[in-house]
Structure 1
Amino acid sequence: MFYIIDQGLRIQTPVETLARDKTVQAIEKPAATSAISKEQEVPIPKQPPKQNPAQPNADKLAHHYQENKQASQQRRQPAVFATQIMTRPAIAMNDQESIYSASLLLKRQRFHHLPIINKNGELIGIVTDRDMMRFSLDNSLADLRSITVSRIMNKKVITAAEETEIRSIADVMCRQNISAMPITDQNRRLIGIVSSTDILRTLVHQAPLELWA
Protein backbone atom coordinates (compact mmCIF):
# COMPACT_ATOMS: atom_id res chain seq x y z
CA MET A 1 0.00 0.00 0.00
CA PHE A 2 1.29 3.44 -0.94
CA TYR A 3 0.53 6.88 0.46
CA ILE A 4 1.28 10.42 -0.58
CA ILE A 5 2.04 12.77 2.29
CA ASP A 6 1.33 16.32 1.19
CA GLN A 7 0.77 19.39 3.33
CA GLY A 8 0.14 17.30 6.43
CA LEU A 9 -2.33 14.94 4.72
CA ARG A 10 -1.84 11.21 4.21
CA ILE A 11 -3.59 10.13 1.02
CA GLN A 12 -3.91 6.44 0.17
CA THR A 13 -2.89 5.90 -3.44
CA PRO A 14 -3.25 2.74 -5.60
CA VAL A 15 0.00 1.57 -7.12
CA GLU A 16 -1.61 1.68 -10.57
CA THR A 17 -1.89 5.46 -10.23
CA LEU A 18 1.74 5.89 -9.22
CA ALA A 19 3.16 3.42 -11.74
CA ARG A 20 1.09 4.25 -14.78
CA ASP A 21 2.86 5.15 -17.99
CA LYS A 22 3.21 8.88 -18.65
CA THR A 23 3.04 8.53 -22.43
CA VAL A 24 -0.16 8.36 -24.46
CA GLN A 25 -0.20 6.17 -27.53
CA ALA A 26 -1.51 7.84 -30.68
CA ILE A 27 -4.70 6.41 -32.14
CA GLU A 28 -4.39 5.38 -35.74
CA LYS A 29 -6.99 6.61 -38.22
CA PRO A 30 -9.30 3.75 -39.25
CA ALA A 31 -9.41 2.73 -42.87
CA ALA A 32 -12.36 3.92 -44.93
CA THR A 33 -15.20 1.41 -45.29
CA SER A 34 -18.27 1.14 -47.47
CA ALA A 35 -21.47 -0.83 -47.20
CA ILE A 36 -21.72 -4.16 -49.05
CA SER A 37 -24.84 -4.68 -51.13
CA LYS A 38 -26.69 -7.95 -51.12
CA GLU A 39 -25.55 -8.62 -54.70
CA GLN A 40 -21.92 -8.47 -53.51
CA GLU A 41 -22.41 -10.89 -50.65
CA VAL A 42 -20.71 -14.22 -51.28
CA PRO A 43 -22.21 -17.20 -49.48
CA ILE A 44 -19.69 -19.21 -47.50
CA PRO A 45 -20.28 -22.95 -47.70
CA LYS A 46 -20.46 -24.74 -44.40
CA GLN A 47 -17.87 -27.43 -43.88
CA PRO A 48 -18.02 -30.20 -41.35
CA PRO A 49 -15.54 -29.83 -38.46
CA LYS A 50 -12.28 -31.60 -39.06
CA GLN A 51 -11.27 -34.37 -36.77
CA ASN A 52 -7.98 -33.69 -35.04
CA PRO A 53 -6.15 -36.99 -34.45
CA ALA A 54 -3.79 -35.24 -32.00
CA GLN A 55 -6.60 -34.05 -29.71
CA PRO A 56 -6.14 -36.81 -27.07
CA ASN A 57 -2.42 -36.00 -26.80
CA ALA A 58 -3.18 -32.27 -26.50
CA ASP A 59 -5.60 -32.98 -23.64
CA LYS A 60 -2.92 -35.00 -21.83
CA LEU A 61 -0.36 -32.21 -22.27
CA ALA A 62 -2.79 -29.59 -20.97
CA HIS A 63 -3.58 -31.73 -17.93
CA HIS A 64 0.14 -32.27 -17.27
CA TYR A 65 0.77 -28.51 -17.57
CA GLN A 66 -1.94 -27.71 -15.02
CA GLU A 67 -0.49 -30.25 -12.57
CA ASN A 68 3.00 -28.75 -12.89
CA LYS A 69 1.62 -25.23 -12.51
CA GLN A 70 -0.22 -26.13 -9.30
CA ALA A 71 2.88 -27.84 -7.90
CA SER A 72 5.00 -24.79 -8.72
CA GLN A 73 2.54 -22.48 -6.96
CA GLN A 74 2.62 -24.68 -3.86
CA ARG A 75 6.42 -24.38 -3.74
CA ARG A 76 6.34 -20.61 -3.88
CA GLN A 77 7.72 -18.71 -0.91
CA PRO A 78 6.11 -15.69 0.73
CA ALA A 79 6.75 -12.34 -0.93
CA VAL A 80 9.39 -10.00 0.46
CA PHE A 81 7.85 -6.98 2.12
CA ALA A 82 9.22 -3.57 3.01
CA THR A 83 9.41 -4.41 6.70
CA GLN A 84 11.88 -7.24 5.95
CA ILE A 85 14.54 -5.19 4.18
CA MET A 86 14.02 -1.56 5.18
CA THR A 87 16.63 0.35 7.14
CA ARG A 88 15.35 1.06 10.62
CA PRO A 89 15.33 3.30 12.44
CA ALA A 90 15.50 5.80 9.62
CA ILE A 91 17.69 8.81 10.34
CA ALA A 92 15.60 11.96 10.09
CA MET A 93 15.89 15.63 10.92
CA ASN A 94 13.55 18.19 12.40
CA ASP A 95 12.20 20.74 9.95
CA GLN A 96 13.66 23.61 12.00
CA GLU A 97 17.25 22.40 11.63
CA SER A 98 19.50 24.28 9.25
CA ILE A 99 20.50 23.28 5.74
CA TYR A 100 24.11 23.33 6.90
CA SER A 101 23.39 20.76 9.63
CA ALA A 102 21.48 18.57 7.19
CA SER A 103 24.37 18.68 4.73
CA LEU A 104 26.85 17.61 7.41
CA LEU A 105 24.56 14.76 8.47
CA LEU A 106 24.25 13.43 4.92
CA LYS A 107 28.02 13.54 4.42
CA ARG A 108 28.70 11.85 7.75
CA GLN A 109 26.16 9.06 7.20
CA ARG A 110 27.02 8.70 3.49
CA PHE A 111 23.48 8.62 2.17
CA HIS A 112 21.55 10.86 -0.18
CA HIS A 113 18.03 11.19 1.25
CA LEU A 114 17.00 12.77 4.53
CA PRO A 115 13.37 12.49 5.73
CA ILE A 116 12.12 15.61 7.50
CA ILE A 117 9.80 15.36 10.50
CA ASN A 118 7.94 17.87 12.65
CA LYS A 119 8.05 18.19 16.44
CA ASN A 120 5.49 15.37 16.74
CA GLY A 121 7.67 12.95 14.80
CA GLU A 122 5.39 12.99 11.73
CA LEU A 123 6.89 12.85 8.27
CA ILE A 124 6.29 16.13 6.46
CA GLY A 125 8.91 16.13 3.70
CA ILE A 126 12.19 14.85 2.32
CA VAL A 127 15.38 16.54 1.18
CA THR A 128 18.25 15.18 -0.91
CA ASP A 129 21.88 16.11 -1.30
CA ARG A 130 21.01 17.37 -4.80
CA ASP A 131 18.43 19.75 -3.32
CA MET A 132 21.09 21.21 -1.05
CA MET A 133 23.68 21.46 -3.81
CA ARG A 134 21.21 23.19 -6.14
CA PHE A 135 20.20 25.67 -3.44
CA SER A 136 23.83 26.40 -2.57
CA LEU A 137 24.70 27.10 -6.21
CA ASP A 138 21.69 29.38 -6.70
CA ASN A 139 22.30 31.20 -3.40
CA SER A 140 26.07 31.28 -3.08
CA LEU A 141 26.00 34.23 -0.66
CA ALA A 142 23.34 32.78 1.65
CA ASP A 143 24.21 31.68 5.17
CA LEU A 144 23.16 28.01 5.23
CA ARG A 145 23.37 28.00 9.03
CA SER A 146 20.43 30.38 9.28
CA ILE A 147 18.12 28.76 6.69
CA THR A 148 15.98 25.80 7.75
CA VAL A 149 15.56 22.64 5.69
CA SER A 150 11.81 23.30 5.56
CA ARG A 151 12.59 25.91 2.90
CA ILE A 152 14.05 23.45 0.40
CA MET A 153 12.41 20.14 1.32
CA ASN A 154 9.97 18.40 -1.00
CA LYS A 155 6.64 18.55 0.82
CA LYS A 156 5.02 15.91 -1.40
CA VAL A 157 6.45 12.52 -0.47
CA ILE A 158 5.54 9.06 -1.75
CA THR A 159 5.60 6.61 1.14
CA ALA A 160 4.72 2.96 1.64
CA ALA A 161 3.34 0.82 4.43
CA GLU A 162 5.35 -1.98 6.05
CA GLU A 163 3.35 -4.70 4.26
CA THR A 164 3.97 -3.27 0.77
CA GLU A 165 5.70 -5.69 -1.61
CA ILE A 166 9.24 -4.87 -2.64
CA ARG A 167 8.36 -5.57 -6.27
CA SER A 168 5.74 -2.79 -6.18
CA ILE A 169 8.11 -0.42 -4.40
CA ALA A 170 10.85 -1.04 -6.98
CA ASP A 171 8.37 -0.49 -9.81
CA VAL A 172 7.19 2.86 -8.41
CA MET A 173 10.74 3.99 -7.66
CA CYS A 174 11.81 3.29 -11.24
CA ARG A 175 8.81 4.98 -12.82
CA GLN A 176 8.94 8.02 -10.52
CA ASN A 177 12.74 8.27 -10.82
CA ILE A 178 13.37 8.17 -7.08
CA SER A 179 15.93 6.06 -5.25
CA ALA A 180 14.46 5.94 -1.75
CA MET A 181 11.02 5.60 -0.19
CA PRO A 182 10.12 6.30 3.46
CA ILE A 183 8.06 3.70 5.31
CA THR A 184 5.41 5.13 7.62
CA ASP A 185 2.69 3.89 9.92
CA GLN A 186 -0.97 4.92 9.85
CA ASN A 187 -0.16 8.03 11.90
CA ARG A 188 2.43 9.28 9.40
CA ARG A 189 5.24 8.44 11.78
CA LEU A 190 8.50 7.45 10.13
CA ILE A 191 9.48 3.87 10.94
CA GLY A 192 12.04 3.11 8.22
CA ILE A 193 13.24 3.75 4.70
CA VAL A 194 13.82 1.54 1.65
CA SER A 195 16.50 2.60 -0.80
CA SER A 196 17.64 1.16 -4.10
CA THR A 197 20.74 -0.02 -2.24
CA ASP A 198 18.56 -2.05 0.16
CA ILE A 199 16.84 -3.75 -2.77
CA LEU A 200 20.13 -4.55 -4.53
CA ARG A 201 21.63 -5.85 -1.29
CA THR A 202 18.66 -8.17 -0.84
CA LEU A 203 19.05 -9.48 -4.38
CA VAL A 204 22.72 -10.20 -3.76
CA HIS A 205 22.38 -11.93 -0.40
CA GLN A 206 19.00 -13.64 -0.85
CA ALA A 207 19.03 -14.57 -4.56
CA PRO A 208 16.94 -15.92 -6.08
CA LEU A 209 14.56 -13.40 -4.57
CA GLU A 210 10.89 -14.33 -4.57
CA LEU A 211 8.88 -11.19 -5.31
CA TRP A 212 5.38 -12.45 -6.03
CA ALA A 213 2.46 -12.19 -3.64
Structure 2
Amino acid sequence: MKAVDMMTAPPVTVGPTATAFEAALRMEQEAIGCVLVTDRDGQLCGILTDRDLTLRGLAHGVDYGRLVADLMTAPVTTVGADDDLDTAYRTFRSAGVRRLPVLDDGRPIGMLTVDDLLRDVVQRLFDLLIPVSRSVLRENVV
Protein backbone atom coordinates (compact mmCIF):
# COMPACT_ATOMS: atom_id res chain seq x y z
CA MET A 1 0.00 0.00 0.00
CA LYS A 2 1.20 3.51 -0.81
CA ALA A 3 1.07 6.76 1.17
CA VAL A 4 -1.45 8.11 -1.32
CA ASP A 5 -3.82 5.25 -0.41
CA MET A 6 -3.92 6.19 3.30
CA MET A 7 -3.68 9.98 3.21
CA THR A 8 -6.42 12.49 3.84
CA ALA A 9 -7.02 14.73 0.85
CA PRO A 10 -7.08 17.47 -0.10
CA PRO A 11 -4.72 19.11 2.39
CA VAL A 12 -5.70 22.38 4.03
CA THR A 13 -3.30 25.13 3.00
CA VAL A 14 -2.64 28.79 3.68
CA GLY A 15 -0.20 31.23 2.15
CA PRO A 16 2.89 32.47 4.01
CA THR A 17 1.33 35.93 4.34
CA ALA A 18 -1.73 34.63 6.19
CA THR A 19 -1.87 35.73 9.81
CA ALA A 20 -1.66 33.47 12.84
CA PHE A 21 -5.31 34.31 13.53
CA GLU A 22 -6.40 33.34 10.01
CA ALA A 23 -4.50 30.06 10.25
CA ALA A 24 -5.96 29.27 13.68
CA LEU A 25 -9.45 30.06 12.43
CA ARG A 26 -8.92 27.77 9.44
CA MET A 27 -7.76 24.97 11.76
CA GLU A 28 -10.87 25.43 13.88
CA GLN A 29 -13.18 25.45 10.85
CA GLU A 30 -11.62 22.29 9.43
CA ALA A 31 -11.22 20.59 12.86
CA ILE A 32 -7.53 19.93 12.22
CA GLY A 33 -4.29 20.52 14.09
CA CYS A 34 -2.19 21.98 11.30
CA VAL A 35 -2.18 23.73 7.96
CA LEU A 36 0.34 23.43 5.17
CA VAL A 37 1.96 26.65 4.01
CA THR A 38 2.26 26.88 0.23
CA ASP A 39 3.53 29.54 -2.12
CA ARG A 40 1.62 30.94 -5.10
CA ASP A 41 2.71 28.01 -7.26
CA GLY A 42 1.38 25.49 -4.73
CA GLN A 43 4.86 24.40 -3.62
CA LEU A 44 5.20 23.44 0.03
CA CYS A 45 7.23 25.92 2.04
CA GLY A 46 6.27 25.05 5.63
CA ILE A 47 3.81 23.59 8.09
CA LEU A 48 2.06 25.40 10.92
CA THR A 49 0.75 23.27 13.76
CA ASP A 50 -1.33 24.13 16.78
CA ARG A 51 1.85 23.48 18.75
CA ASP A 52 3.75 26.06 16.65
CA LEU A 53 1.03 28.61 17.36
CA THR A 54 1.29 27.91 21.08
CA LEU A 55 5.05 27.63 21.52
CA ARG A 56 6.25 30.16 18.96
CA GLY A 57 3.30 32.47 19.23
CA LEU A 58 1.24 32.65 22.38
CA ALA A 59 4.04 31.63 24.75
CA HIS A 60 6.06 34.63 23.57
CA GLY A 61 3.20 37.11 23.42
CA VAL A 62 3.17 37.15 19.64
CA ASP A 63 0.38 39.18 18.10
CA TYR A 64 -2.38 37.27 16.29
CA GLY A 65 -1.53 39.40 13.25
CA ARG A 66 1.92 37.81 12.99
CA LEU A 67 2.58 36.17 9.64
CA VAL A 68 2.44 32.41 9.29
CA ALA A 69 5.87 32.57 7.63
CA ASP A 70 7.33 33.75 10.97
CA LEU A 71 5.81 30.88 12.97
CA MET A 72 5.82 27.89 10.63
CA THR A 73 8.21 24.95 10.73
CA ALA A 74 10.48 24.67 7.70
CA PRO A 75 11.84 22.61 6.11
CA VAL A 76 9.07 20.05 6.36
CA THR A 77 9.55 16.29 6.63
CA THR A 78 7.45 14.74 3.86
CA VAL A 79 6.77 11.55 1.96
CA GLY A 80 6.10 11.10 -1.72
CA ALA A 81 2.76 9.96 -3.09
CA ASP A 82 4.38 6.80 -4.45
CA ASP A 83 6.25 5.96 -1.24
CA ASP A 84 5.06 2.77 0.41
CA LEU A 85 3.74 2.69 3.96
CA ASP A 86 6.97 1.13 5.24
CA THR A 87 8.76 4.30 4.12
CA ALA A 88 6.15 6.38 5.93
CA TYR A 89 6.57 4.32 9.11
CA ARG A 90 10.36 4.79 8.97
CA THR A 91 9.98 8.52 8.31
CA PHE A 92 7.63 8.98 11.26
CA ARG A 93 10.01 7.03 13.49
CA SER A 94 13.17 8.85 12.44
CA ALA A 95 11.69 12.38 12.31
CA GLY A 96 9.57 12.16 15.45
CA VAL A 97 6.64 13.99 13.86
CA ARG A 98 2.90 13.26 13.97
CA ARG A 99 2.01 14.47 10.48
CA LEU A 100 3.59 13.99 7.07
CA PRO A 101 2.52 15.98 4.05
CA VAL A 102 2.28 13.77 0.98
CA LEU A 103 3.86 15.44 -2.04
CA ASP A 104 3.58 14.97 -5.76
CA ASP A 105 6.12 17.01 -7.70
CA GLY A 106 6.74 19.28 -4.69
CA ARG A 107 3.07 20.07 -4.22
CA PRO A 108 1.09 18.74 -1.27
CA ILE A 109 -1.75 16.46 -2.30
CA GLY A 110 -2.66 15.09 1.13
CA MET A 111 -1.69 14.53 4.73
CA LEU A 112 -0.67 11.29 6.39
CA THR A 113 -0.87 11.15 10.18
CA VAL A 114 0.17 8.77 12.90
CA ASP A 115 -3.55 8.16 13.41
CA ASP A 116 -3.84 7.00 9.79
CA LEU A 117 -1.09 4.47 10.37
CA LEU A 118 -2.67 3.36 13.62
CA ARG A 119 -5.87 2.59 11.70
CA ASP A 120 -3.74 0.59 9.25
CA VAL A 121 -2.16 -1.40 12.10
CA VAL A 122 -5.56 -2.14 13.66
CA GLN A 123 -6.95 -3.23 10.29
CA ARG A 124 -3.98 -5.52 9.69
CA LEU A 125 -4.35 -7.01 13.17
CA PHE A 126 -8.06 -7.50 12.58
CA ASP A 127 -7.31 -9.20 9.25
CA LEU A 128 -4.93 -11.59 11.04
CA LEU A 129 -7.26 -12.36 13.93
CA ILE A 130 -10.45 -13.10 11.97
CA PRO A 131 -9.17 -16.41 10.51
CA VAL A 132 -7.73 -17.42 13.88
CA SER A 133 -10.97 -16.70 15.72
CA ARG A 134 -12.95 -18.62 13.09
CA SER A 135 -10.75 -21.68 13.52
CA VAL A 136 -11.07 -21.47 17.31
CA LEU A 137 -14.86 -21.23 16.99
CA ARG A 138 -14.92 -24.25 14.66
CA GLU A 139 -12.82 -26.28 17.11
CA ASN A 140 -15.16 -25.42 19.99
CA VAL A 141 -18.25 -26.45 17.98
CA VAL A 142 -16.96 -29.94 17.20
For 1:154, the equivalent position in structure 2 comes to: 73
1:1-213 mapped onto 2 (5 Å cutoff) = 80-134=1-55, 135-139=57-61, 142-144=62-64, 146-186=65-105, 188-207=106-125, 208=127
Q: CA deviation at 1:206?
A: 4.9
SS in 1 for 2:48: strand
| Cα distance per residue 1:142-186 (max 9 Å; x no partner) | 431x21101111121111111111122112212211011111112
TM, length-normalised to structure 2: 0.80
| Cα distance per residue 1:180-210 (max 9 Å; x no partner) | 1111112x1111111011111223345448x
Identity of aligned residues (%): 23
Provide the C-alpha distance between the structure 1 equivalents of 2:107 and 2:95, rounded to a whole number of angstroms. Answer: 23
| Cα distance per residue 1:110-167 (max 9 Å; x no partner) | 322221001111111111111101111111xx431x2110111112111111111112
| Cα distance per residue 1:22-65 (max 9 Å; x no partner) | xxxxxxxxxxxxxxxxxxxxxxxxxxxxxxxxxxxxxxxxxxxx
Flag structure 2 segments of 5+ consecutive residues without an equivalent. 129-142
Provide the C-alpha distance between the structure 1 equivalents of 2:124 and 2:109, rounded to a whole number of angstroms. Answer: 23
| Cα distance per residue 1:64-90 (max 9 Å; x no partner) | xxxxxxxxxxxxxxxx11011111111
CA contact under 8 A between 2:42 and 2:107: conserved in structure 1? yes
Q: Which has the larger radius of gyration?
A: 1
CA RMSD of aligned residues (A): 1.7
CA contact under 8 A between 2:77 and 2:95: conserved in structure 1? no
The structure in which a higher percent of residues are helix is 2
For 2:139, the equivalent position in structure 1 comes to: none
Provide the C-alpha distance between the structure 2 equivalents of 1:124 and 1:132, rounded to a whole number of angstroms. Answer: 17
Figure out how many residues of one structure are paired with residues of the other and give that number.
126
